[in-house]
Amino acid sequence: MGMTNDIGGGIKAASQFTAGRDRDYLEKANESIAQTQAKSEFSAAAYNTNIARMRARSIMGTQVANTGANNLQQGGTPSEVIASTAKTQEANALQIQNNAMRRAWGFEVEGSSDQYQGDQAERGGILSGLGTLASTAGGSYKSYSFANPGT
């Protein structure tokens, strides 16, 4: 009976070691995915911000052309409208950039969390496995001592 417990304890300990290692691999893979998503968000931020600024220049160019086509002065109210457009469009571009940066930061935090959880899972598997081995060894010693009281 003691030998069966020893084998079972060894199998359980190996299983705990493996489960911890496998969870660590999974969390590290999740970390890599999160970091890739963060990089993608940084790239999207730059691209979408540039698109918003190009659109703003187009709108302002149309406003300047319309001002000239209607024989209006390039000052006063028409100039204020163009300046207001520039401010509004730049605020829009900065908001696009800010939103993407926040999403990227969220992915970076998620990646760091995944890495930490992976490390903890690996440690937990090792400690559980060692605990099982110690418990199995203690049980085996107790069984042996009980069966052989004179030794």
pLDDT tens per residue across span 34-92 = 889 999 998 999 999 999 999 999 998 998 888 888 877 777 788 888 889 899 999 99
Is the pLDDT at 2 greater than 60, yes or no?
no
Q: Determine, yes or no, domain membership for 7.
A: no
pLDDT tens per residue across span 85-124 = 899 999 999 999 999 999 999 888 888 888 888 888 888 8
pTM of structure: 0.59
Q: Determine, yes or no, domain membership for 2.
A: no
Task: Specify the long-range contacts of residues 126-132, CB closer than 8 Å, at least 24 apart.
Answer: 126/17, 126/20, 128/13, 128/16, 128/20, 129/13, 129/14, 129/16, 129/17, 129/20, 130/13, 132/9, 132/12, 132/13, 132/16
Q: Determine, yes or no, domain membership for 98.
A: yes
Question: Residue 52 belongs to what domain range?
Answer: 13-133
The domain tally of the chain equals 1
Q: How far is CA 38 from the centre of its chain?
A: 7
| 1 band by pLDDT with thresholds 50, 70 and 90 | very low
Q: Determine, yes or no, domain membership for 110.
A: yes
Q: Determine, yes or no, domain membership for 105.
A: yes
When pLDDT is averaged across residues 16-27 and rounded to a whole number, the result is: 82
Q: Determine, yes or no, domain membership for 124.
A: yes
Q: Determine, yes or no, domain membership for 139.
A: no
Positions of E strands within the chain: none
Q: Determine, yes or no, domain membership for 116.
A: yes
